[in-house]
Structure 1
Amino acid sequence: MHDMIGSHFCGAAGQGRARRGDIDIGGSLHKLMSLMEIMSGNVGTNATCQLNEHRFSTTMFEKCVHFYVLQLHESFLVWIGTVPHELTNLSVAINSKFEKNTASTTTLLGDMADLSANSIAQRLAKKTGKQVFVSCNLPAVGEFLPLVEARLMTELKNHPDKF
């Protein structure tokens, strides 16, 4: 059940299980899924490709903020934005095998000076122990990021099986 405290569904948000061909997530994210499969090592194996998705949204500063989580094998993608199907940046974080509580991040797509996706990816990688891809497509409002991170961490706490 969706946590209704301080948030509600904006538009068509939902959750479900889907296979790669069943998800309508826009052209950019569909191409990204193929790249992520390659990076996670699932290409060329006989393993069944099953992707799980989880969607939720909330209102912040009179704007509807959408969250989309695409769960892969030992990794996941989090897309955050106010405009559906907009992919302006992408960061990835992975935990270090040698140093505990350390996650390395890099920007794969977008402005290298915008560290919002890196910050979220790093926190999620440390918390989950998984490789995390994050696309954060939000207006340049300074108060947005802490609220978005708090909402995302609440969802992770309430639904850890979705990440």
Structure 2
Amino acid sequence: MNQMNLSLTPLSPLVQTHPNDSFRISFAPLSLDEVYQLADEGANGAIVLMSGTVRQETDGKPVRYLEYQAYEPMALVIFRQIAVNIRQEWSDTNRVVIHHRIGQLQIGEISVLVAVGCPHRAEAFAACRYAIDTLKHNAPIWKKEYWADGSSNWVSIGLCEQET
């Protein structure tokens, strides 16, 4: 598999993000329906939505819950940069939605939703994968894993193993 370039083109103050894109950091639970609707548009032939959830185990260790923190102003800039880069690579992209949750999350809760609407599925899949991989690599978001044995550890999501 080809290695994806996860670097970001710096966002110029003159570059505006698309007015129908949506970027959010929230303590409130994230909504699949809302994110899908925000990505929906008549020109789309595909909407690809990626939902990241809190899993019950990390590296064989049982997880009780996670806590997420973010440097919100910079994270939102990164989200906007991701959308700008998506449109440079996949120019037919209609909508980009990136919502990330912070605070304490239980097993099975949604931590991140990324949706991309495009005329064709191939570009929608590629753009969505680029968005989540680049977010995990570049956004100032950290998670603290609380394990069943009572121990815990802070991890920058950028340092998490990139899944292939």
Would you call these one fold, judging by a TM-score over 0.5? Answer: no
Structure showing greater radius of gyration is 2
* TM-score, with structure 2 as normaliser: 0.32
Q: Which structure has more RCO (C-alpha within 8 Å, separation ≥ 6)?
A: 2
* TM-score, with structure 1 as normaliser: 0.32
